[in-house]
Amino acid sequence: MNKILKSAGRLALYILALVGFVFIGGMLVFYSLGYRYDFGSQKPYKIGILNITTAPAGANVSLDGKLQNKKTPVDFRNLLPKQYAIKIEKDGYQTFAATAVVQAGLVTRLENIFLVAKTLEPKKLLKETASAFLSDNRQRFAFILPTGENAGIWLYDSGSGTQTKLFPLQKSLTSQSTEAAKYALVSWSKSGKTLLIKVEGEPASFYALNADNPSDVRKFSIAQPLKTIWKNEEPLFLLPNQNLVSQTGEVVESLPDVMDATFFGDQFYLIKKTEGKVVLEKRAGLAERAEELLQLPLDSNYSFYPETDQMIMLRKKTGELAWLKTEGAPQLVPIAASVNLAAYNGKTLIAWDGLEINAYNFPFDEKKLLVKLPDTTLVHLLFFDGQSLLTQENGQILLRSLHNGQGFPLVLAPEAAIFSIRDQTLYYGSQGQIWSLLLQPK
């Protein structure tokens, strides 16, 4: 009898162990496949992951009002698939608030959230500045100091923080004052190495200044050009008679019906108005055979984006967006007919429709509403570099998040012109002067 009981006991233990093994093994598989059990709803669910990174790092995160014990950068795993209210806080910075929808089996990312300092103090960078002109690479800007011993055309490099005098202003023949009104900053080469200026009343009416070598100055005279077209560091000029001339005045090519032209690398692109249409042409170089890429109605508008080697044309009546990269054929994408193009960084297109500011990510087939502004708002887009979106709204500069459109007020600056954001510093012009604003403590 005892032997039978012992055998039965061992069998029960074996069965119990087997059941436990199967249960634990099943739970491990269940867990490894991303499933959890919600005891509140008494249902299994598949987890989602929320990834949050901030600049700077080390910010506290609250989910649905509960402070978490991890700081950014952080992955929150084992989350129920639903919408979460997120609050990000860091000492010395303004609070960032957003919502994020975590989906089962997927990673939801809130990346590179730019935190803005609570205390912002604009500093006057340059005094008595007559005008300033930003390079395409947004690192350098030229400005005119109209009076004093240092009167001249100067260069400020926001990367190095240095100022360099490029060109002196000539003094009046009848007084010791300079004639700053005679000088105009015309354009930069795409690289930001060469600045073109115009001087009224001189035989050599144009000067090309080498920003890397102030002693390298080229002089030439061109009569009333309509547009400057840069081929690397060489300026070409489109004249009213549709001739494209070099800096020596030599006719390089005749361009009948041309509305605009630009170089992307060695490729030459022309926009022409012909036979009641806007035509986009591409050439391998000057005086080369043209390849027609696209035809659009006359009411189409367009934007070149030299820093991305891309251009966008908007077909207003149908709301069709023609997107072209310098390699490959144009792509046509439907977009709202009333939308206005604002800025593009090669991946994200910022546009607005009335008082809605929207973000379109390539290939532009879906839009994300960033913010719907009140009816009384007078808004201008000032700057967009892919992460920072700066707007001027009723005379105030705001930094708006690309995640949810949240606006951080920066400074009151009527008629502001944004030059660049480098090393967490905003450079802008307002009221005839140039200012800097540190957005994050160093």
Kindly state whether residue 348 falls inside one of the protein's structural domains. yes
Phi (first) and psi of residue 168, to 5 degrees: -80, 150
| 372 and 432 share one domain | yes
Q: Which residues contact 202 (CB under 8 A, 6 or more apart)?
A: 182
Q: Are 138 and 420 in contact (CB under 8 A)?
A: yes
Nearest alpha carbon to residue 357 among 375, 337, 372, 338: 372
Number of domains in the chain: 3
| 349 and 408 share one domain | yes
pLDDT at 30: 47
pLDDT at 104: 83
pLDDT at 57: 92
| 346 and 408 share one domain | yes
Q: Are 22 and 49 in contact (CB under 8 A)?
A: no
Taking the C-alpha atoms of residue 204 and residue 27, their distance in angstroms, rounded to an integer, is 84
Q: For the range 290-299, what are the long-range contacts, defined as Cβ-Cβ under 8 Å and sequence gap of 24 or more? A: 293/324, 293/329, 293/330, 294/322, 294/324, 294/330, 296/322, 298/273
**Cis amide leading into 73 (omega within 30):** yes
Tokens of 438: 């540190």
| 92 and 56 share one domain | yes
The residue assigned the tokens 């055309």 is 153
Mean pLDDT by 10 residues, the chain (442 residues): 57 61 53 54 69 92 93 89 92 91 87 89 72 73 79 82 82 50 83 88 79 89 86 90 88 88 84 85 83 83 73 75 73 74 78 80 76 76 75 85 85 76 79 82 77
pLDDT at 3: 57
Question: Residue 25 is part of which domain span?
Answer: 2-33
Kindly state whether residue 260 falls inside one of the protein's structural domains. no
Kindly state whether residue 382 falls inside one of the protein's structural domains. yes
pLDDT at 2: 57
**E-state strands within 316-366:** 320-325, 331-334, 340-344, 348-353, 356-361
Kindly state whether residue 330 falls inside one of the protein's structural domains. no
Kind plus residue range of the DSSP H or E element containing 13? helix 2-32
